[in-house]
Amino acid sequence: MSDTRVGARQTVRLGLVEGDLLVEDHARIQPLEGNLVVVKGEASFEGSVEIDCDFECSSLRSRDGMVRIDGGLTVHDDIDVDVALYVRKTASANSIDVGGKLSVGSLRAKSVDVGGSLDAQGELSAEVVDVGGSVEAAGALVAKSLDVGGRVAVGGGEVSELADVGGTFASSKPLKFAKIDVGGTVELEGGEGKIIDVGGRLVSKGDLTCDEIEAGGVIDVEGNLSGGSVEVGGRVRVSGDVALARELEVGGEAEISGVLSATDVEVGGRLRTAKGLVKGQAKIGGAVDAPHGLKAADIELGRHSRCTGTLVGGRVRLGRGSEVQDVYCSELDAGAGARMGKVFAERAILGDGCELEALLFTHELKQGAEVRCTTPPQKASALPPFPL
């Protein structure tokens, strides 16, 4: 079985090539008939080559130039191109290795390794994708693992194992994922997954469900946020509800337009939520704005904190100089100078200079000097039902 050779700068029409095909620099391949050239063996290109139709071969090798195919590319084994590969329609192969740029209409392969950039006008489907620079797919990304040094922009899809991106990961449609690990920014249109670990900012323009989120900077969700735990070094803003099975930990401010529910909540700055329902501890360093109340087994407010909304807890601790509205709890420990509305507690400790509108208790009251109560404290056999 003889090989077929196409010389430099030649234009040749081919149909079926029984053996290998060797093509030299600046040659052009055209179909003998129809719109397909089939090579039973290996296609080997030296320099830049253009193919004006669909192309099929056993394997493809290219050195010292770019390959441009004005059609689809089907390779039954491997593709190895050291500079650039351009395919107008679908490219499919077992594995694809391109040193520079890979541009396709859509792509199907087991593994893809690109040194520079990967662009797809349609779907990008591969078990393993490893790109040194950037990935852009207008269609869905379907992959087990994705490892990209720079930026990724895809049209939704699914990453079933790990997406590891050095810069930015962006999806223009909802995405399913196992783990997203990004150094810079994650931008989603909603989605569902297990883990997001981002060094900078997480933005979701749609409902997001994730078992574990860790962000170094900011989280912004336009919609509802649900899952297991959320930890953010800076600020979190959610336009809907937040429902977590475990904890919410925020270094700065938390702004939640809907209801916040979690096992534990710790906010270093201000907490704003329509209503807070916390099974365990709610520890807030700054102000609290909860018009429909904040309920937790253990509530702790920092010094000089301000609270709008009723506090309901097993134990409520108010920092020195804090100012709150009505409080319902089993135990109240108010620091010096704290100011309160009506208080309903089994036991209450009031520091020096505390002020409150009224106090109803059932077991014990301890108070410091110069405590002022608009209505004298009253001891009762039972407290009224707690709200929330």
Question: Could you tell me if residue 293 is inside a domain?
Answer: yes
Tens digit of each residue's pLDDT, the chain (388 residues):
679 999 999 999 999 999 999 999 999 999 999 999 999 999 999 999 999 999 999 999 999 999 999 999 999 999 999 999 999 999 999 999 999 999 999 999 999 999 999 999 999 999 999 999 999 999 999 999 999 999 999 999 999 999 999 999 999 999 999 999 999 999 999 999 999 999 999 999 999 999 999 999 999 999 999 999 999 999 999 999 999 999 999 999 999 999 999 999 999 999 999 999 999 999 999 999 999 999 999 999 999 999 999 999 999 999 999 999 999 999 999 999 999 999 999 999 999 999 999 999 999 999 999 999 999 999 999 999 999 8
Beta bridge partners of 230: 213, 248
Candidates 15, 21, 67; CA nearest to 41 is: 21
Among 83, 98, 113, where does a domain finish? 98
In which element (H, E) is residue 154 found?
strand 151-154
DSSP 199: S
Between CA 169 and CA 100 the distance in angstroms is 21
* Cβ–Cβ < 8 Å for 121, 104: yes
State which residues form the domain around 359: 270-388
β-pair type (27-31, 175-182):
unpaired
Question: Could you tell me if residue 72 is inside a domain?
Answer: yes
Let me know if 34 is exposed, middle or buried by CB neighbors in 10 A (0-12, 13-18, 19+).
exposed
Among 50, 73, 98, where does a domain finish? 98
Candidates 305, 334, 342, 341; CA nearest to 317 is: 334
pLDDT, residue 388, reads: 87
pLDDT, residue 184, reads: 97
Which residues 6+ apart lie within 8 Å of 73 measured at CB?
54, 55, 56, 60, 79, 87, 89, 90, 91, 92, 93, 104
Candidates 140, 176, 135; CA nearest to 159 is: 176
pLDDT, residue 1, reads: 60
Between CA 170 and CA 165 the distance in angstroms is 10
Question: Could you tell me if residue 330 is inside a domain?
Answer: yes
Residues in the chain: 388
Question: Could you tell me if residue 379 is inside a domain?
Answer: yes
Candidates 325, 327, 323, 348; CA nearest to 338 is: 323
SS (H, E, C) 327-340: EEEEEEEECCCCEE
Count of the separate structural domains present in the chain: 2
In which element (H, E) is residue 345 found?
strand 339-350
Candidates 175, 143, 135; CA nearest to 160 is: 143
Between CA 17 and CA 344 the distance in angstroms is 90
Question: Could you tell me if residue 351 is inside a domain?
Answer: yes
Question: Could you tell me if residue 212 is inside a domain?
Answer: no
What pTM was computed for the model? Answer: 0.94
Classify 46 as helix, strand or coil. strand
Among 38, 65, 98, where does a domain finish? 98
Question: Could you tell me if residue 214 is inside a domain?
Answer: no
Between CA 52 and CA 306 the distance in angstroms is 72
* Cβ–Cβ < 8 Å for 125, 146: no
